[in-house]
Amino acid sequence: MAPIEVFFGAIVLMFALIGVARGFLRELGVTTVLMFLLFFLSQFEPQLDKGMARLMSTNVVPAAERDLWQCVLFVFVVAAVAFVSYQGETLSFSGQAPQGAQGVVLGLVTGLLNGYLIAGSIWFYMHKFDYPIEVLGFSTAALSELAQGLIAYLPMTFLGQPVLFGQSLLLYLSMLLIIARVAR
Q: Angle at CA 127, nearest 5°, toward 126 and 132?
A: 50
Predicted confidence at residue 12, as pLDDT, reads 95
* Mean pLDDT (whole number) for 138-145: 82
Predicted confidence at residue 27, as pLDDT, reads 87
User: What span, in angstroms and rounded, lies between the C-alpha atoms of 31 and 173?
Assistant: 10
3-state class (DSSP) for residue 95? coil
Predicted confidence at residue 11, as pLDDT, reads 94
User: What span, in angstroms and rounded, lies between the C-alpha atoms of 131 and 113?
Assistant: 24
Element (H, E) at 73: helix 66-86
Predicted confidence at residue 112, as pLDDT, reads 95
Q: Maximum distance among all alpha carbons in the chain? A: 58
pTM of this structure:
0.87
Query: At 34, is the pLDDT very low, low, confident or very high (cuts 50, 70, 90)?
Result: very high
